[in-house]
A and B are shown apart, each in its own frame.
Chain A
C-alpha cells in the first residue's frame, strides 16, 4: 500500500456542488426579529443629513453597542416640505431629491410618480433597511409594522402570501408587493384587513430585494390618524415637534404630524416631515421582520476507508527518534482519532479546514464517511 497522507477526491462521486439553501434570520441586530424600541440621534437634527432622513437605532446612541436598524425618509416630487431656492438659496431641495432618488431606484424609466393602486402620489415615506441588517433581502410575508395615531393602532403587512398563493417561507424572486393592513395569521399565512384606504389608494409598496418600504402618506395619514400640521409652518419643525428623536418623553406623547407641504413663510425651515412617521412607529412599538440570504454550499464526502489513515504523526503516537510506536497494542491494531479534516488543492495548499465535534475513532476495522460542508 502506498504511503500517503493526501487522498484525491473523485469529482464525480465525492463533490456535490451548487447546493443552495435559503437562511432566514431576525432582521435586526443580533438576529432579533422584533424591534420594539426606537431611537434616533439628536446629531441628525442639526446635521445636514437630517433634512433627508433619520437613522433609527435599536438603543440610545449613547450606548456604544447601538446600531442603525433602518432609516426613515420623506420625499416630495415638487419639493414640498423643503424651502424653495427663492425662499432660501442655500436650500438643497431635500424632499424633492429624496423623491426623485427613490423613483430612480425603484420605478421604471417611464414612470414619473409612485402609484399606489390607482392613486398616484406626489409624496412618499420611505423606510430603508440598513444594509448590514438586510444581508441579501427582506423576507416578504414575514414582517409587520405597527403604526399608531389618533384612530388607533394599525398593523401593516404585505400581500405576498395572497399574491403567491401561499405564505412565502422565504423571500421569493419577484419583486414588489403591496403593503396592506392585516395580520400574519390565516390560511395564506396572513389575513388582509384592508388593502387600501378610501382616501388615497393602497398603503404602500415593499421591495424585498433592496430592503425598501415605500409608504403612501395619502393612505397612511388619514387611516392611522396623523395630526394635521398647524401654524404658519408647523409640520415637525416646530419647537415641540423637534422632540421626536427623544425616546422617553415627548415621543411617547408627541403626535405624529401629517406631512406639511404648504407654502413656507417666516424662517423657511425644513419641515422634517419624516418625523411624523417616526413618531407613529415609536407609538406603535413593534416592527417585526426577517432577512433572507441564499447560501451556496459545496459538500465534500471524505471517505476514510478501512486501510487508510490508521497511523499518526502525532508526537505522542510514536517515538520521534526511532519511529517506534509507543503503545504496543497499536502495532497490530492501531487506533487513531480524527479531529481535523483539511481540504487541499493540487499544490497541497490548505484551503479549508473542518473540525469534528468529538474525536472520531479510526482503525483497520472501521470506515467513516464525513460530509464536509463549505458555504460561500
Chain B
C-alpha cells in the first residue's frame, strides 16, 4: 500500500506592468477576481502518437521540457489560452477578419470586422497593433453596453508603441511615413481566446516632384 500523493503544485507569480501600475494606485485598484491558463511554449507537434514505448510516452517530449520564466509584459504572455469546450468537440472556434496580410498606402484606411465560428463574439474582441507609430488603430463598433472585457487593459499598460483597443470592429489607417515599415496586428476573441495575427505593411508616402 503506497502513499497517496496529496501535493499541491505551488508556483510564484510576478506582477505584470499593468499589475504594478494598479497596485501603485492603491490596494483597492488591485483586485484579482479570475484566472485563465495558457500553454505558451508548447508545440503539440511534439505529441508523438507513434512513440515506441506506447501511450504513456506520447507526451513525454512536452512534459519534460523546461519552462521559461514569466515575463512581466502582458503582451508577451498568456498568448494561447486554454479553453473549456464540450467533450467531443472537433473544431476549435476560429477567428477571421478577411485578411491574411494588410498592405496600406498613404491615406489608406480599412475596416476590420472579426468574426468567430459558432458566433462566439458576444464579449467582443481586443485588437493590438504592436507599433502604433505606423498606423492608427481605433474602435469601429464599440462593445455592447455592459460588456467590459479589455484583454490587456489600457494602452499605457503595454510596451513601447503598442496600441490596444476593444470592440466588435476596428478601423486601421496608415500614417505618413518616409520609409515603408511593417508591424503586426493581433485580434483576440475575448471569450474563447481565439487569436489571429497578420502582418501590416504601411508603404512610404510618395514623394512629389
The answer to whether B33 and A317 touch across the interface, beta carbons within 8 angstroms, is: no
The answer to whether A336 and B82 touch across the interface, beta carbons within 8 angstroms, is: yes
Chain A residues near B92 (CB-CB < 8 A) = 311-313, 317-318, 323-325
The answer to whether B12 and A375 touch across the interface, beta carbons within 8 angstroms, is: yes
Q: Which of A313, A373, A374 meets B80, CB within 8 Å?
A: A313
The answer to whether A350 and B18 touch across the interface, beta carbons within 8 angstroms, is: yes
- Interface status of B108 (Cβ within 8 A of chain A): no
- Interface status of B109 (Cβ within 8 A of chain A): no
The answer to whether B196 and A302 touch across the interface, beta carbons within 8 angstroms, is: no
The answer to whether A332 and B152 touch across the interface, beta carbons within 8 angstroms, is: no
**Contact of A311 with B65 at beta-carbon distance under 8 Å, contacts A339-B40, A349-B153 already known:** no
The answer to whether A354 and B12 touch across the interface, beta carbons within 8 angstroms, is: yes
The answer to whether B84 and A1 touch across the interface, beta carbons within 8 angstroms, is: yes
Most buried by A among B33, B192, B194: B33
Residues 180-198 of B contacting A (Cβ, < 8 Å): 190-196
The answer to whether B90 and A331 touch across the interface, beta carbons within 8 angstroms, is: yes
**In angstroms, how far is the closest chain A Cβ from the Cβ of B193?**
4
Most buried by A among B16, B63, B83, B118: B83
- Interface status of A132 (Cβ within 8 A of chain B): no
The answer to whether A5 and B81 touch across the interface, beta carbons within 8 angstroms, is: yes
- Interface status of B44 (Cβ within 8 A of chain A): yes
Chain B 1-39: CB-based contact to A (< 8 A → 1; otherwise 0): 000000011111111101100110000001111111111
The answer to whether A320 and B94 touch across the interface, beta carbons within 8 angstroms, is: yes
The answer to whether A368 and B9 touch across the interface, beta carbons within 8 angstroms, is: yes
- Interface status of A108 (Cβ within 8 A of chain B): no
In the complex, how many residue pairs between chain A and chain B have their CB atoms under 8 Å apart? 289
- Interface status of B78 (Cβ within 8 A of chain A): yes
Interface size class of B (residues with CB under 8 A): 35 or more
Chain A residues near B104 (CB-CB < 8 A) = none
Who on chain A is nearest to B148 by CB? Answer: A347
The answer to whether A302 and B90 touch across the interface, beta carbons within 8 angstroms, is: no
**In angstroms, how far is the closest chain A Cβ from the Cβ of B27?**
9
The answer to whether B10 and A312 touch across the interface, beta carbons within 8 angstroms, is: no
**Contact of A356 with B9 at beta-carbon distance under 8 Å, contacts A336-B39, A361-B59 already known:** yes
- Interface status of A253 (Cβ within 8 A of chain B): no
Of the listed stretches A6-14, A45-53, A144-152, A212-220, chain B binds A6-14
Complex Cα gap A302–B35 (Å): 7
Interface of A toward B, CB cutoff 8 Å: 1-9, 15, 298, 300, 302, 304, 307-318, 320-332, 335-362, 364, 368-376
Q: Apart from A339-B42, A346-B148, what are 12 other A-B pairs with CB-CB below 8 Å?
A: A3-B83, A3-B118, A311-B85, A317-B44, A324-B90, A339-B67, A340-B70, A341-B37, A346-B33, A347-B150, A372-B11, A375-B12
